[in-house]
Chain A
């Protein structure tokens, strides 16, 4: 599904080139549940963003479903990730001005889904995460765990093949965190959704079937 070869990304600071990612080679198969670990500043989020096509590498090649992402134009890339990838963030990144229902619906709006179909899909999602009663509330009226549920619901609404999660439980207490990880596991096993998560916690990483350790932009372990 994902094949990264010799991926490097850097910033120039004066005359020095600082590598954020250096010569990353990585393959991920469909149906995997991968955790990316490593200390702060090791390049975890950068790697996730490159995989998610929100960011581009300066060097190397990236194949997604055999499509050469590194050669695609911005528009084609966004078309690609819109269809296949859902994002979950540590800070949830819900839109404050929209209700729970509207937040979940947003991706469908950008895919020109019909109104009746949107209704059905959002209703399914609300049902699945048990938040039907909260659909008219605004994000500020929800607890952190509930907000993250909405975030996941939004990521799943367009039926992506890949979920990218950047420290999804970082702002949650342990009980809420467990709930989220259970949902991920279920998604991975029952729906066959590929999941890549960035995490600091060994406990969360244990839910996955592969862990990649990053240090200073390089892959240290890959097991």
Chain B
């Protein structure tokens, strides 16, 4: 054994090129594998730290159309707990309605906009297992109390004890003063992430609700809160689901086919299969794609090892023959080569760890998580990963050993036999596989970026260039607010740097104010009432500011935007909405009344279709509702110095709305942010493709080296009989070019098919141009030729006499 080790070390140090190529290939493979293992094992560890995780279920709604959502009526939780004793407890928490601006209760403090905040039930900290670092968990039971995360505590109260202090929360309910009852921490691998939590009981205080009846914490009509339940151990969830639904049915008699389901907490991050309809925080598809990429890359690394080692066996056949003749058994030889393979894999692992350390920051940006080798969770995924690694290392070593030790000793010594034909075929097959993977990844990357480019460059039907979007003020309790607001609007009007502006409740790229159904017109069928429409709250300046044309009728007047919400009966609709309502033409819509539940509304104008959301989605039917809303100020700037323009607006904003944070973005950037997922896929596949090509090229480099060595005599002869350097290079390269073209022919249809499927997710998509396929092959070819060129040119230039005189 020690003897084997010594020989291994000698072999590795003597054959430097092969050793470096081998170890580098394996290190690259393992590094990619480790990075992805970090990610997948973390994804699989989500939410598993809760003590009663096996008994915890989230309530989820589904409707007959196949949608599923987890927001529900706050009254559901108390109702089912009361009626069904197997439900031992419930906890409600919401993730949207509390958003606003938070400020320490002290005139000098800075305000911050907070989005990861919410109202939660008083038992939040006993129901879940989030550690409370300071204060008493039970205190959250009281109205106007809140808990801060450690991060928020440091942000608002640096070097102070926050417990007992008060903060101000400004949101849709106006101003609230909350006493901080404690500090908690939430692990990174939790889907429930709050920077601060406010007691849900607060929403039971009439003076705080300010007439927002929909938010009543026991109501059974507005769906806005997440509800998690705990069951008696051993309860059958399927039976309980039926009982829950019948309880709900008796309390909410509406029969619209909506059903409640119990989603296990353990499946809240990732579903078990693609068929599951539950809404999740993670993305199972992403996990599968990443896992596949990791495996492919690791396999490529081992293919490299097999390739390079068997190629090298030509050199070693003499050594092996002599060993056999002096009495080595085959098993002892296999053991020798296995030792070598393990040594190479371990060295690869060592360098891989180093590589991971170097690449980690880049990878973390890509994946948008804070991962490191220490965050690998020891769960089944990690176990499977380790098993794959160990068995792959052994298998590749064992196979290589078998091939190398197969020679008949005398044949080798007598005739200086070259490697068997079977080995050559195998190596070609492995090279083809490696390049097929690389080309497939390259083509995938091409198509992803083509689609992203297409979405970013398509005409949107509106103009968002040089458009600044400023968040409206949230701290609006001051009695002089309406004066402040009109003052700011006037300053915008008189600012020569501003071409146009509009005040709205939603802006393109930022979804809608809400969606609702229940619309019909005299000529429409009954089913139209079930169809949902998007609602966007705008003022009279919206269409002209965004340069969206009307196809019929007229725009809102300033007076119409001042009408109270419930008294207004005039709306604009886009062409798509008119169509969905069953009008034959925009003109027809102007003449008929539309019923909205018990109200009647009049379409006064029809807006030309434009892309309010990204091109992944079809254009929604939109109803535009006139209001003097205050959420977004969209400001179109005149040509000029951007920095100066913004600082001018900031100055007047701060003067007009003291205590409010000034936050802005650009409409085009905001809009393109919708393509973040696609961009993420794009960078991921770019990385994967580069990685794969790198490994494939390492292998190609080694194989060229081998091919040159075994053909050195032939090359010499050819040069002597008149072959030029170009002839020789072309001859050597043509073998590999053939293989790469074959790889391309195999890979392209597969990638093409997969990407057709991916593109089907987009309402507006590219058609895959035929020339992308040869381009992907060309990329692989160019890189491959560059890889082999140095060696082949050097060989072709070398003096043929040297090659021939070795006889």
Binding site for B on A (CB under 8 A): 45, 49, 54-55, 74-75, 78, 81-82, 87, 89-91, 93-97, 106-107, 110-111, 154, 158
- Bound CA span A38–B63, Å: 101
Are the C-beta atoms of A54 and B724 separated by less than 8 Å?
no
Select B801's contact among A55, A91, A107, A158, beta carbons within 8 Å: A55
- Bound CA span A87–B805, Å: 14
The reply to whether the CB of B804 lies closer than 8 angstroms to some CB of chain A is yes
- Bound CA span A110–B799, Å: 18
Residues of chain B within 8 A (CB-CB) of A89 are 804
Residues of chain A within 8 A (CB-CB) of B800 are 54
Q: How many residues of B contact A (CB 8 A)?
A: 18
Select B804's contact among A78, A93, A95, A154, beta carbons within 8 Å: A93
Which of B5-13, B557-565, B713-721 lies at the interface with chain A? B713-721
Contact residues, B753-807 vs A (CB, 8 A): 797, 799-801, 804-805, 807
- Bound CA span A78–B720, Å: 9
The reply to whether the CB of B426 lies closer than 8 angstroms to some CB of chain A is no
Are the C-beta atoms of B717 and A94 separated by less than 8 Å?
yes
Residues of chain A within 8 A (CB-CB) of B799 are 54-55
- Bound CA span A89–B720, Å: 11
Select A54's contact among B714, B727, B801, B807, beta carbons within 8 Å: B801
Residues of chain B within 8 A (CB-CB) of A94 are 717
Are the C-beta atoms of B724 and A87 separated by less than 8 Å?
no
- Bound CA span A93–B713, Å: 8
The smallest C-beta distance from B742 to any residue of chain A, in angstroms, reads 21
Are the C-beta atoms of B720 and A54 separated by less than 8 Å?
yes
- Bound CA span A82–B724, Å: 10
A93/B717 contact (C-beta < 8 A), A49-B801, A54-B799, A54-B800 known: yes
- Bound CA span A206–B720, Å: 28
Please list 21 pairs of residues, one from A and one from B, whose beta carbons are closer than 8 Å in the complex, sorted by A's number.
A45-B805, A54-B720, A54-B799, A54-B801, A55-B801, A74-B797, A75-B724, A78-B722, A78-B724, A81-B722, A87-B720, A93-B717, A93-B720, A95-B718, A97-B714, A106-B718, A106-B721, A106-B722, A107-B722, A110-B718, A110-B721
Contact residues, B703-725 vs A (CB, 8 A): 713-714, 716-718, 720-724
The smallest C-beta distance from B780 to any residue of chain A, in angstroms, reads 27
Select B721's contact among A90, A91, A107, beta carbons within 8 Å: A107
Are the C-beta atoms of B807 and A91 separated by less than 8 Å?
yes
The smallest C-beta distance from A42 to any residue of chain B, in angstroms, reads 15
- Bound CA span A75–B725, Å: 9
Measured CB to CB, the nearest residue on chain B to A96 is B714
Residues of chain A within 8 A (CB-CB) of B723 are 106, 110
Residues of chain B within 8 A (CB-CB) of A49 are 801
- Bound CA span A106–B731, Å: 13
The smallest C-beta distance from B326 to any residue of chain A, in angstroms, reads 30
- Bound CA span A111–B724, Å: 10
Contact residues, B680-723 vs A (CB, 8 A): 713-714, 716-718, 720-723
Are the C-beta atoms of A95 and B714 separated by less than 8 Å?
yes
- Bound CA span A54–B805, Å: 12
- Bound CA span A154–B721, Å: 8
Residues of chain B within 8 A (CB-CB) of A106 are 718, 721-723
A82/B722 contact (C-beta < 8 A), A94-B717, A95-B717 known: yes
Extra contacts, 10 of them, besides A54-B800, A154-B721 (Cβ < 8 A), are: A54-B720, A55-B799, A55-B801, A74-B797, A75-B724, A81-B722, A95-B714, A96-B714, A106-B723, A111-B722
- Bound CA span A111–B727, Å: 11
- Bound CA span A78–B800, Å: 12
Are the C-beta atoms of A110 and B727 separated by less than 8 Å?
yes
- Bound CA span A49–B799, Å: 11
Are the C-beta atoms of A93 and B722 separated by less than 8 Å?
no
- Bound CA span A75–B719, Å: 12
Are the C-beta atoms of B721 and A87 separated by less than 8 Å?
yes
A93/B801 contact (C-beta < 8 A), A78-B722, A82-B722, A110-B723 known: no
Residues of chain B within 8 A (CB-CB) of A78 are 722, 724
- Bound CA span A93–B797, Å: 19
- Bound CA span A75–B713, Å: 21
Residues of chain A within 8 A (CB-CB) of B727 are 110
Measured CB to CB, the nearest residue on chain A to B803 is A93
- Bound CA span A107–B721, Å: 5
Residues of chain B within 8 A (CB-CB) of A45 are 805
Are the C-beta atoms of B724 and A110 separated by less than 8 Å?
yes
- Bound CA span A158–B805, Å: 24
The smallest C-beta distance from A171 to any residue of chain B, in angstroms, reads 10
- Bound CA span A107–B724, Å: 11
The smallest C-beta distance from B233 to any residue of chain A, in angstroms, reads 74
- Bound CA span A95–B713, Å: 8
Residues of chain B within 8 A (CB-CB) of A96 are 714
Residues of chain B within 8 A (CB-CB) of A74 are 797
Residues of chain B within 8 A (CB-CB) of A107 are 721-722
Query: Which 6 A/B pairs are nearest by Cβ-Cβ distance?
Result: A110-B722, A82-B722, A107-B721, A91-B807, A93-B717, A110-B723
The smallest C-beta distance from B803 to any residue of chain A, in angstroms, reads 10
Residues of chain A within 8 A (CB-CB) of B724 are 75, 78, 110
Residues of chain A within 8 A (CB-CB) of B713 are 93
Measured CB to CB, the nearest residue on chain B to A107 is B721
The smallest C-beta distance from B370 to any residue of chain A, in angstroms, reads 57
Residues of chain B within 8 A (CB-CB) of A93 are 713, 716-717, 720, 804
Residues of chain B within 8 A (CB-CB) of A110 are 718, 721-724, 727
- Bound CA span A189–B159, Å: 108
Measured CB to CB, the nearest residue on chain B to A171 is B807
Measured CB to CB, the nearest residue on chain A to B805 is A45
Q: Which of B720, B723, B799 has the most CB of A within 10 A?
A: B720
The smallest C-beta distance from B278 to any residue of chain A, in angstroms, reads 62
B 559-592 binary contact with A (CB < 8 Å = 1; else 0): 0000000000000000000000000000000000
Residues of chain A within 8 A (CB-CB) of B716 are 93
- Bound CA span A110–B718, Å: 9
- Bound CA span A210–B236, Å: 108
Measured CB to CB, the nearest residue on chain B to A97 is B714
Measured CB to CB, the nearest residue on chain B to A104 is B721
The smallest C-beta distance from B610 to any residue of chain A, in angstroms, reads 63
The smallest C-beta distance from A76 to any residue of chain B, in angstroms, reads 12
- Bound CA span A90–B806, Å: 12
Residues of chain B within 8 A (CB-CB) of A91 are 804, 807
Q: Which of B717, B727, B797 has the most CB of A within 10 A?
A: B717
Residues of chain A within 8 A (CB-CB) of B717 are 93-95
B 287-303 binary contact with A (CB < 8 Å = 1; else 0): 00000000000000000
The smallest C-beta distance from A153 to any residue of chain B, in angstroms, reads 12
Residues of chain B within 8 A (CB-CB) of A87 are 720-721
Measured CB to CB, the nearest residue on chain A to B804 is A93
The smallest C-beta distance from B392 to any residue of chain A, in angstroms, reads 35
The smallest C-beta distance from A149 to any residue of chain B, in angstroms, reads 16
The smallest C-beta distance from A97 to any residue of chain B, in angstroms, reads 7
Residues of chain A within 8 A (CB-CB) of B718 are 95, 106, 110
Measured CB to CB, the nearest residue on chain B to A49 is B801
- Bound CA span A78–B722, Å: 7
The smallest C-beta distance from A101 to any residue of chain B, in angstroms, reads 15
The smallest C-beta distance from B430 to any residue of chain A, in angstroms, reads 22
Measured CB to CB, the nearest residue on chain B to A82 is B722
Are the C-beta atoms of B722 and A158 separated by less than 8 Å?
yes
- Bound CA span A82–B718, Å: 11
Measured CB to CB, the nearest residue on chain B to A111 is B722
The smallest C-beta distance from B722 to any residue of chain A, in angstroms, reads 4
The smallest C-beta distance from B802 to any residue of chain A, in angstroms, reads 9
Residues of chain A within 8 A (CB-CB) of B721 are 87, 106-107, 110, 154
- Bound CA span A44–B800, Å: 17
The smallest C-beta distance from A83 to any residue of chain B, in angstroms, reads 9
- Bound CA span A90–B804, Å: 11
The smallest C-beta distance from A54 to any residue of chain B, in angstroms, reads 5
Measured CB to CB, the nearest residue on chain A to B720 is A87
The smallest C-beta distance from B68 to any residue of chain A, in angstroms, reads 65
Residues of chain B within 8 A (CB-CB) of A111 are 722
Residues of chain A within 8 A (CB-CB) of B720 are 54, 87, 93
- Bound CA span A42–B721, Å: 26
